[in-house]
Structure 1
């Protein structure tokens, strides 16, 4: 499980593979969302926009699904959270999706939902769809993250539609 080198407003870089990645090939974005169900649809559109710009179209559907699950869990289960932060990072052929909230006590865990239960399958879905996932404490709460590997080699494809890849802009 990856660990972070601290926690900052600019999507702190975790250890390998991120720490050794040159800044020119590291891409990141962050989005602050209200802790309300309609924010999940906003998150999906935002994911699609940035992955398309980064020429990572093959990851859009999976990442939208993972973002929906992570954001929904944060909104439903994190106590006293007025907003969540969605982070999207790409480096070294790995896409990392992360949702941060301010509740350090409600840590998620996989469980076996009964066939008659309406929920309880989100983390099992994440575990099956993502290459890795985990939970890290942060200074202000927790981070639940997952990663998708890409089969690409070398640098990411050129950005589409103008803007550069680094930073915390939405």
Structure 2
């Protein structure tokens, strides 16, 4: 299959009620899911942007608003969306003073993301932002379709991204993903053997292809 024609992994969706007490849990849930997608370097910025988008709903639409957090891969970008049912309360950039304790939310999103915006429909709005890994910024090849396919398979083996845990969420999520990845490789080796292929030879071929795809490219 031509990876350039393969659509990125299906969006991850998490419905929630907009509440200040939920912000940290929602940020952790996103962080764990990004572990599955291999987007480690975007975790901190993604968490901060997510917190600000959710806080924007709480402040301008109201606490307890039924909302949805969505993360997806849009080409080389990680796209984060927060859906809420009020198309009238639009986020805006404000010129907060240096001592202001509020009014910095969308300014922070503007600074951390490559782009952001708002989409309106008849009964709700979507506030979104997009971030790119450093490799994509530098023009290097990023195998996003391969990462996305792997994330889809990992979600099948592990059920779904785990719920946030009270301690050590990052390492727990990574350990669960690694265990699922080992199960995938083991099952594929059984599949090769069943079809009369040498599992060691298949591993050698996969390793050779991986190394070829990751060789430095001369500009």
- Counterpart of 1:138 (choices 121, 125, 135) is 121
Matching residue of 2:73: 90
Q: Does 1:63 align with 2:46?
A: yes
Aligned to 2:155: 163
Of the three residues 148, 153, 164, the one matched with 2:142 is 153
Aligned-residue RMSD, C-alpha: 2.5
Deviations 1:96-139 (A, max 9, x none): 00111111111111010123322001111111110000011023
Listed as ranges, the gaps of 5+ residues in structure 2 are 164-219
SS at match of 1:109: coil
Superposed counterparts of 1:1-170, under 5 Å: 22-23=6-7, 25-79=8-62, 82-150=65-133, 151=136, 152-154=141-143, 155-157=145-147, 158-159=150-151, 162-164=154-156
Show CA shifts across 1:47-83 (max 9, x none).
1111001111111111000000000111111148621
How many residue pairs match? The answer is: 147
Q: Which protein shows a greater Rg?
A: 2
* TM-score, scaled relative to structure 1: 0.77
Structure 1: unaligned runs, 5 residues or longer:
1-19
2:196 corresponding residue in structure 1 = none
TM-score, with structure 2 as normaliser: 0.61
Alignment partners' CA distance in 2, 1:39 and 1:140 = 24
Which structure dedicates a bigger proportion of its chain to helix? 2
Which stretch shifts more, 126-135 or 144-153? 144-153
Equivalent residues of 1:81, 1:103 under 8 A apart: no
In structure 1, the partner of 2:169 is none
More strand by share: 1
| Aligned CA distance change for structure 1 residues 137 and 71 (closer, same or farther; 3 Å) | same
Q: Distance in 1 between matches of 2:88 and 2:61?
A: 8
Which structure exhibits the higher relative contact order, with contacts defined as CA atoms closer than 8 Å and separated by 6 or more residues? Answer: 1
